[in-house]
Amino acid sequence: MKAVIQRVSYAACRVDGKISGECKNGLLVLLGVGKDDTEEDADLLAQKIAKLRIFCDENDKMNLSVCDIDGEMLVISNFTLLANYAHGNRPDYMNAKKPDEANRLYEYFVEQISKSIKHVGKGVFGAEMHIETQLMGPVTIVMESEVLKKRRN
């Protein structure tokens, strides 16, 4: 599972001109579900993202997590994060999980992260989404569950 995490003052997802999810002062998370990913991957990412200290404290040091600041989150499914671009100019997405199972794990991730975050907005799985963001910093981190698994062993 791969996540692109961006610190935002505001983020919103629109589908057919209507807001499907939004957040203020928190994190925008683009989430890609790989073909071999399981609930364990979702759990690892949800726990790590909730505790990720990328918000500034009173001394302007990145020392606080989204939980510490009582922040919000917007989670958007994004299979293109699993793109294989090594050959040719058209990426393939063979590393992405099939849509039904990917959606199940996306919803599971949202459910898990919602245990730590007061407000979690969502995109619409499989839809054409338009994302508005106001980045803070900017601070952008790419996180992969495989890296977290290796660290545990």
153 pLDDT band (50/70/90 cuts)? Answer: low
Q: What is the dihedral of CA 91, 20, 76, 24, to 10 degrees?
A: 130
The tokens describing 24, both together, are 């203020």
Residue whose C-alpha is closest to residue 41's, from 122, 105, 120? 105
Q: Is the pTM of this model over 0.85?
A: yes
Residues 20-70 have pLDDT tens digits of 999 999 999 999 999 999 999 999 999 999 999 999 999 999 999 999 999
Determine the topology of domain 2-152 in CATH.
D-tyrosyl-trna(Tyr) Deacylase; Chain: A; (3.50.80)
Domain ranges of the chain: 2-152
State residue 151's pLDDT score.
76
